[in-house]
Structure 1
């Protein structure tokens, strides 16, 4: 069961699923209204919890926070919270272009029972460290019982999330986690945050991050909605490795996992970020566990077919690994 009220870093562990906002067939048309497929939302949330996901993060870039209407955000939040029924923590995205709208959306999310917000920085102007830290302080002051997971996406928010930022923002009581990209500075940032918050690496980087520091016992995964057994297996093998001090099996599974990955277009995170929504939704739909649906405007119909094909193939490889694990599990 999810813990009510403010969480501690120790409450953040395991697999945190990144949930897309599933769309109806006409969602790519700007004339469309009420584009969220709420039935698919409820089915996916129920499936993730049944499969053992430890938490849910929603309405980031893949979740199309940037292209949902406020009314769509509200019904999507409600569906996630009502389906989860407190069984796992639910963090919903409330990022906007300014502090006041962000606070309004965060207050609403708290009022319906969301445990936290996955919160990025307003991205109109390039932020400095002082602005970024103050923004999180203001949201925390305005909604003091709402947990905050920082959405640290350097391309989306025109901010490189430097060491000074992590040292200062970790002093905010409500900041308990971060959706963290890359592990180059992970040890430094863990030291600077004094282990007051969990820095969640990507699933593909979790094995390496877990070997760095035992405090790293949580990760984020959009792959869960391509087949959750892959992500929960990764979690469980790291847990077993820490218990036995034998990392052989976890290392072998990491080798299987990385074979499912798709390369960034042009080997560039910057290029990937241009087409992020289409690539991730294409990957999810190709895997077949969840129907993510079409991309909402203005980010629809812009992705080169060669990039999209690569990510669809990644989804198919993930789905095949999921199927293999089901077979292996049934044979035990």
Structure 2
């Protein structure tokens, strides 16, 4: 498992009858792989995990594993309120063929540092799957501090962090304290290029679901030192990337997928599709970007130092 490169946080595709839309999921996945992504993450907040059944998670994971055919790793997200259930989900993920886990702190309860560390340790000790810790104190109210990471370093399968503190300096803090012990993947779309320059190893992206080629191009060009070319794409991309920072990021990104021909705006209740002024406003952002989509340089075969 290599925690580097671009890992889309996949949306879950639904039919109008509120069932999984596997053909549409497969279409998006194929375009993502053709664009050069390095792995996929299922069942995150963007994937509407809180409204998915365990059976649906199984179906999605097995389908993605089958479609990927070993070319990229499938990572399953775990966001549970109890340690027991998180351990169970880790066991199921391995059974279904996932090659890694993204692990959030306990949901709905604001655990302290001791509890947070113990939660991660218990799950890590229960599985052989490699783990990426999701550090997002803005949305989930629990910060995975450097001192917690120092405790987690004893578990070899805790290997990476999805860095979503919104503080780009945290990349430098992690590297200063731990060197390359933990791979760092940016989890905030609007800070990605900045974090690559500071040494981040990858990008857990949202808008990549609708714009995979542009996302991978920004990552590879930046890592190859072709900053001016990457920056031109990134500046075009920013109004779209800002859609990732809103509580309705699922609706916004699914609408972008639909406009780009890679998905549909169908969501699962209690979420509702956008209407009125809000939908018109978001459509304007998306359609303006599509009308001015940049011509990308050849990026797939770029070489760069790890």
Q: Which TM-score band (shorter chain)? A: 0.7 to 0.9
What's the counterpart of residue 227 of structure 1? 211
Of stretches 216-225 and 246-255 in structure 1, the one that deviates more from structure 2 is 246-255
Aligned counterparts of 1:151 and 1:308: Cα–Cα separation in 2:
30
SS at match of 1:224: helix
Post-superposition CA distance 1:83-140 (Å, at most 9, x none): 1111011101232221122222211111122111122122121111111111111111
Aligned counterparts of 2:243 and 2:215: Cα–Cα separation in 1:
19
What's the counterpart of residue 32 of structure 1? none
* Candidates 158, 163, 183, aligned match of 1:198: 183
* Candidates 171, 186, 194, aligned match of 1:186: 171
Post-superposition CA distance 1:138-180 (Å, at most 9, x none): 111111x111112223244321333333333344211222222
Deviation at residue 74 of structure 1 after TM alignment: 1.0
User: Judging changes above 3 Å, is the alpha-carbon distance between structure 1 residues 53 and 171 closer, same or farther for their aligned structure 2 residues?
Assistant: same
SS at match of 1:325: coil
What's the counterpart of residue 303 of structure 2? none
Contact 1:117–1:148 at 8 Å: present in 2 too?
Answer: yes
1:3-18 matches, cutoff 5 A: 7=1, 11-18=2-9
TM-score normalised by L of structure 2 = 0.86
Deviation at residue 308 of structure 1 after TM alignment: 4.3
1:208 aligns with 2:194: yes
What's the counterpart of residue 253 of structure 1? 233
Contact 1:119–1:148 at 8 Å: present in 2 too?
Answer: yes
Deviation at residue 260 of structure 1 after TM alignment: 3.6
Alignment RMSD (CA, Å): 2.4
What's the counterpart of residue 158 of structure 2? 175
* Candidates 83, 93, 101, aligned match of 2:67: 83
Contact 1:261–1:314 at 8 Å: present in 2 too?
Answer: no
Aligned counterparts of 2:118 and 2:143: Cα–Cα separation in 1:
16
Structure 2, unmatched stretches of 5+, are 299-306
SS at match of 1:200: strand
* Candidates 94, 100, 103, aligned match of 1:119: 103
Aligned counterparts of 1:292 and 1:152: Cα–Cα separation in 2:
29
SS at match of 1:19: coil
User: Judging changes above 3 Å, is the alpha-carbon distance between structure 1 residues 127 and 294 closer, same or farther for their aligned structure 2 residues?
Assistant: same
User: Judging changes above 3 Å, is the alpha-carbon distance between structure 1 residues 167 and 283 closer, same or farther for their aligned structure 2 residues?
Assistant: farther
Deviation at residue 207 of structure 1 after TM alignment: 1.9
1:282 aligns with 2:266: no
User: Judging changes above 3 Å, is the alpha-carbon distance between structure 1 residues 305 and 59 closer, same or farther for their aligned structure 2 residues?
Assistant: farther
What's the counterpart of residue 68 of structure 1? 52
Structure 1, unmatched stretches of 5+, are 1-6, 28-34
Aligned counterparts of 1:172 and 1:317: Cα–Cα separation in 2:
47
